[in-house]
Amino acid sequence: MISRKTGERILITLDPDVDPGMSAGALFAHGPIEIVVAATGPTTARIALALPPALRADRLGRKPPAP
């Protein structure tokens, strides 16, 4: 479960131990990515992620404003 405030991000990437040449079929052989908004509040949302083992989710802060 991940909590995010308005403007904060989640980055889904390959696990560092996974071959970047892995096919999409092999990547999703254990199932799809599932994202569930579990709860919302005035300034935050609680998000549940179910990812195949080859993927990972990282929490990122707000994206800096464009120059």
Residue numbers of the chain with a pLDDT score lower than 70: 63-67
Residue carrying the six token digits 């989640």: 10
Helix, strand, or coil here: 27? helix
pTM greater than 0.95: no
pLDDT in tens, 36-51: 999 999 999 999 999 9
Q: How far is CA 62 from CA 7, 23, 58, 65, in A?
A: 5, 31, 13, 9
Q: What pLDDT shows up at residue 64? A: 65
